[in-house]
Amino acid sequence: MRASEVVVCGGGGFIGGHLVAELRRREVGRIRAVDLKPFNEWYQRFDDVDNVVLDLRRSDDCKEAVAKAAQVYNVAADMGGMGFIEHNKALCMLTVLINTHLLTAARAAGVRKFFYASSACVYAAYKQTSPDLTALKEEDAYPAMPEDGYGWEKLFSERMCRHFTEDFGFNTSVARYHNVYGPHGTYDGGREKAPAAICRKVIQAQINGTDEIEIWGDGQQSRSFMYIDDCLKGTLMMMDRGIPGPLNIGSSELVTINQLVDIVEGIAGVRLERRYNLSAPKGVSGRNSDNTRIQQILGWQPSITLREGLTKTYKWIHEQMLTREATVVVS
């Protein structure tokens, strides 16, 4: 057995931490988790994993990360929700260094399989101008007009993977994730995505004894949201079967942001007055995943309902916030 069978780049992040946990459950062999953040900022960390702090924007650090690896999962990125993406386009674009250096280092190291986590932000903006949109098929990324900054970086990195496969015979798999959420993720600070942000706002309203919630935009913008367990299942199926992609991995359960708030309020057992911030970043008007291709190729599609996933996510965020409140009171 090679010294490090599987490497998860971005292993200290939300998706990366869950991926490491699932790989441990599968007993895949030795696992290395790599992230830029110091250990105390990792979302999940496991003592039986080779945890390493490296800056994957650097070529030499990528070489160290993938040394003696058989498989590499690249889920590393400098990103967040719409608030972060809108105001940090240059930082999002610089993430291109990670995938570029990782591909080069992995090929040189003899890595057998390489996974790249792309995003639904690669899809053309002109196909997402209405909340009542047609679900996005994989071919809808072209002619290209992705999300400025983050979407362009993801689309370019997809092409890098494609050409490494075509030109060098290097086995890559590319998935386009659609709005992944779940426990052990960011829920405040500016990088959180809509499901976690709404959960936090509802919980905070209860803690503060207020009866209102701020919603970015008019609440009519539509999205699908995928629970982390479905994300992991689709990712590992792609790698197990050597599916190159790009392939949508996303729920097809479309809701408006207002409906998302309805579900979280139902879980919490409250009803809040809604205050709409029309000047806040809201992203495209509508986005949903067409799962025709993933059903054809894998015979599967994400199936965990939004209510089921949000119930688990809300419970975790609620516990974190109550613990934080208690700590503040004690101190």
Token look-up 């689309």 returns 155
Average pLDDT over residues 214-240: 97
Whether the pLDDT of residue 293 is over 80: the answer is yes
Q: What is the pLDDT of residues 2-29, one digit of tens each?
A: 456 899 999 999 999 999 999 999 999 9
| φ/ψ (deg, to 5) at 78 | -95, 100
C-alpha closest to that of 30 among 64, 5, 60: 5
Whether the pLDDT of residue 264 is over 90: the answer is yes
Residue bearing the bigger pLDDT, 331 or 75: 75
Average pLDDT over residues 123-147: 93
Whether the pLDDT of residue 133 is over 90: the answer is no
Average pLDDT over residues 228-234: 98
DSSP state letters, 171-229: -EEEEEE--EE-SSS--SSS---HHHHHHHHHHHHHHHT--EEEEES-S--EEE-EEHH
Strand partners, 312: none
Q: What is the pLDDT of residues 72-131, one digit of tens each?
A: 999 999 877 777 878 889 998 999 999 999 999 999 999 999 999 999 999 999 999 988
Across all residues in the chain, what is the average pLDDT?
A: 94
> Could you say which DSSP state residue 287 is in?
-
Q: What is the pLDDT of residues 29-77, one digit of tens each?
A: 999 999 999 999 999 999 999 999 999 999 999 999 999 999 999 999 9
Strand partners, 276: 215
Residue 244 CB partners (closer than 8 Å, separation 6+):
162, 165, 171, 172, 173, 174
In this prediction, residue 226 carries a pLDDT of: 98
In this prediction, residue 151 carries a pLDDT of: 94
Average pLDDT over residues 149-178: 97
Quote the CA–CA distance of 33 and 327 in Å, as a whole number: 30
C-alpha closest to that of 84 among 177, 158, 154, 149: 149
Determine which of 22-26, 94-98, 142-146, 279-283 has the lowest per-residue pLDDT on average: 279-283
Q: Which domains does the chain have, with CATH numbers?
A: 4-180+226-249 (3.40.50.720), 183-223+253-288+305-323 (3.90.25.10)
Whether the pLDDT of residue 263 is over 80: the answer is yes
Please give the positions annotated as active site.
150
> Could you say which DSSP state residue 126 is in?
G
Whether the pLDDT of residue 1 is over 50: the answer is no
Whether the pLDDT of residue 269 is over 70: the answer is yes
